[in-house]
Homo-oligomer: A and B are copies of this chain.
């Protein structure tokens, strides 16, 4: 009856780990971290910080052996060590075989296809030479099977003229989608099989530059599309049997079809605003899921937005936050700084959550915030 809380070890100690550790304070769940960077975002937030590679078998195995439960905040970790720990009776959530599937976009996409989940058409290829043989399939994105992360490992191949830009490694060609919106649904599942999805959020693009400008929640979509997006996420995590949170990134095509783009088996950039705008944050939800607790209510109580705070171009060195007072003076604006000492151009240094009572209010605040804050050195 009385709950004895597990000892938890986390692979990775970056900003996602930082927010996970912050949420874990509520439940008095001390979490140890493993990260190669001795000044990783988590290092001041745990009394059990280990410096080391989460991609090295021995390091992961020996780190993991100390705990009842292992989780991750980055999926590019040593799977073999996690499988060994699992075989020795330690709980590893999300499960290693699912990390193995997600780590390779070829297997991930094939999984969607095999199990009848909607996704953009694709063809597996082994090298850049094979792009030529698939000229009929262009325009497409070439994606590396392994090692892609945070926008890396993806190349647009518009026509045969772009073939020289291609990667010469195993990957896939994915049909370029003419999409109306890019959506994300974060969904969680605990070992008992309880599943809850957060409302879909939407990436807002700059009308001219076509760059992701900021995230807004909830997405401006019909109740039918909302239901379909949540249903896809729920069916997917159920089919996978994953324990933890799963971020499902999707395209809404111009003809109203939802296609899964890709998934991340951990708290995700598209869920930062849940800390401020939902009853339960994605971080608390992940902790509830992996420890086998009932999942929390995912309801959004406000409109919200999220802007990444990137290092300004041209500045490298100890970070300074120019305009912090200005944005703190805007009602409903809450910065979250990742505690990184050194800024570099485009380095993710933090994010800013916006709360409001309408989408228009969120859009206005996003514009104000963008004009006001810079990370310089």
A residues at B contact (CB < 8 Å): 1-4, 18, 22, 25-28, 30, 44-47, 276, 279-280, 284, 288, 293-294, 296-297, 301-302, 320-325, 328-329, 331-332, 334-339, 350, 355, 376
Contacts and interface: CB of A to CB of B under 8 A. Distances in A.
A44 B30 contact: yes
Contacts of A376: 2
Contacts of A339: 25, 28
Contact of A296 (B4, B26, B294, B328): B328
| Those 8 A-B pairs whose CB atoms lie nearest each other, nearest first | A294-B329, A28-B337, A2-B320, A2-B322, A297-B331, A3-B324, A301-B301, A28-B339
A298 to B, nearest CB: 10
A302 B332 CA distance: 15
B1 A334 contact: no
Contact of A321 (B3, B294, B297): B3
Given A44-B46, A296-B334, 4 more contacts: A27-B337, A28-B337, A284-B334, A293-B328
A355 B280 CA distance: 10
Given A44-B47, A294-B329, A332-B297, A322 B27 contact: no
Given A3-B324, A328-B288, A18 B27 contact: no
Contacts of A322: 1-3
B321 A26 contact: no
B279 A332 contact: yes
Nearest to A3: B324
A27 B22 CA distance: 12
Nearest to A46: B44
A72 B26 CA distance: 21
A261 B280 CA distance: 35
A18 to B, nearest CB: 7
22 contacts: A1-B322, A1-B323, A2-B320, A2-B321, A3-B321, A3-B324, A3-B325, A18-B25, A25-B45, A25-B339, A26-B336, A28-B339, A44-B46, A44-B47, A45-B45, A279-B302, A280-B334, A293-B324, A293-B325, A294-B328, A301-B301, A301-B355
